Amino acid sequence: MNISVISFTQKGLLLSTRLKSLAENVKLYCASREADFSAFPEVVPVSDTQAFARENFEQKNAQVLIGACGIAVRAIAPYVKDKLSDPPVVVMDEAGRYVIPVLSGHVGGGNELARLISGSIDAECVITTATDINGKFSVDSFAVKNNLSIANKGQIAAVSSKLLAGKKVKLCVNREDLPRDLVLPEDVEVVYYASSSSDGGTGNESRDFSKNAPDVSKRDYRSDIYQVDASLASNIYNVNDRTRKDVYKNDNDVVSDIYGDEKAKEKSDIDIFIMPSGRNSGLYRMAMESGALILMPKRYVLGMGLKRGKSREEIESFVDSVLDEMDISLPEIYAIATIDIKKDEPGLLDFCRKYGLELITYSSEELSKAEGKFFHSDFVEEVTGVDNVCERAAVLGAGEGGVMIRDKSVYSGMSLAVARMKKLILE
């Protein structure tokens, strides 16, 4: 995340220089006409604070404003749109006493940035988000830290309100998507898909169907989403006359076990779903209708090659066409991976910024070391130094255990491959 620090007085300018060491990607600006810039060549003068704010919103940069809260509010007000996409904004007083995150504290990381700044200058960090000040589980912070996108942001408030009222919330997830060493607060109860026990068990020996039950309406790109947990192979469960060793044919079976019938759906007490299947699935529709908060794992990496000058719109159209065929939505994408000579491609950078995607780049030497069988192109090798960019980049970007699920697709000077990550929950 790039951090833009802007001050409005000479005193604020002096304070801003203390923040330069926070990270490598910190840039300093000053909007004071009276400030003396002679000793600070790295500080960029700013004549229009609203234009400054607009540009940083467009670039998705974090902003630190050293001055009055009113100045910050007036500067950013025209550009505030959505808590899931707005970049973080932090305000500091010019004396360096207080650091206040005023926008995108959870999803954008404003609270964490404020804590980092306050720790570096020995200031007081003023956090105002209710879950933080009451020591409660913050589901939107959890989502950001754990590689999950939020499908229905309106339900964040419902989850937080329940927690602030002293009640527990239920989080439903695939067992394999939740690390055994992950510790959640006591007010979060974890249940697993199809976890109710019908054999007199305690219910803790959750049935976990995480592979081999594709959404049959599309090609089987989700072929490892539902499979019986091998660690529970000794147990037998009867579910609608299916035995423990059976594999679900599609997610309608999962829907049946979670919700039962339509009336049961309305009474579902699951508050948060970490969704194992796409937006076209029956489970997704049922969960959405029940009023639960839906978190979508960002389990896919797009490997991409492209000619110079491709616009964001061209890239977007191509990606949409491939993902639509696969029943994968952009909120399920973690990153774009490509060769390092494309790291400054404007259209690609704009596309990543628009959808909040990481851009991962590799050298031709790194790409050549990717393991697997890849489509060979003499032309690509002549231009880039490696025979294939998109497939190799996708596999590397997906990390250990990642697998390529869509080979190279080509359209109008662009190539695209899709890989699926094995590891989802990061913390």
Which of 388, 333, 339, 328 has the alpha carbon at shortest distance from 358?
Answer: 333
Tokens of 100: 């206040």
- The position carrying tokens 């060493």 is 181
- The position carrying tokens 């910024």 is 353
pLDDT given for residue 196 in this prediction = 37
pLDDT given for residue 29 in this prediction = 95
Class of domain 3-128: alpha beta
pLDDT given for residue 242 in this prediction = 33
pLDDT given for residue 425 in this prediction = 57
Judge whether 336 and 358 are in contact, CB under 8 Å: yes
pLDDT given for residue 266 in this prediction = 43
Sheet holding 26-30, edge to edge: 43-45, 26-30, 3-7, 62-66, 89-92, 98-103, 124-125
Domain ranges of the chain: 3-128, 139-297, 300-420
pLDDT given for residue 194 in this prediction = 52
pLDDT given for residue 427 in this prediction = 46
pLDDT given for residue 94 in this prediction = 93
Instruction: Enumerate residue ranges in the chain where pLDDT < 50.
Output: 195-253, 261-267, 427
pLDDT given for residue 316 in this prediction = 94
CATH 3.40.640.10 holds for 300-420? no
pLDDT given for residue 4 in this prediction = 95
pLDDT given for residue 73 in this prediction = 92
Q: Which residues pair with 359 in a beta bridge?
A: 336
Model pTM?
A: 0.69
How far is residue 120's CA from residue 131's CA, in Å, rounded to a whole number? 24
- The position carrying tokens 């159209």 is 317
Write a three-state SS string for the chain.
CCEEEEECCHHHHHHHHHHHHHCCCEEEEECCCCCCCCCCCCEEECCCHHHHHHHHHHCCCEEEEECCHHHHHHHHHHHCCCCCCCCCEEEECCCCCEEEEEECCCCCCHHHHHHHHHHHHCCEECCCCHHHHCCCCCHHHHHHHCCEEECCHHHHHHHHHHHHCCCCEEEEECHHHCCCCCCCCCCEEEEECCCCCCCCCCCCCCCCECCCCCCCCCCCCCCCCCCECHHHCCCCCCECCECCCCCCCCHHHHHHHHHCCHHHHHCCCCCEEECCCCCCCHHHHHHHHHCCEEEEECCEEEEEEECCCCCHHHHHHHHHHHHHHHCCCHHHEEEEEEEHHHCCCHHHHHHHHHHCCEEEEECHHHHHCCCCCCCCCHHHHHHHCCCCCHHHHHHHHHCCCCEEEEEEEEECCEEEEEEECCCCCCC
Note the pLDDT tens digit of each residue in 372-401: 889 888 989 888 888 899 999 999 999 888
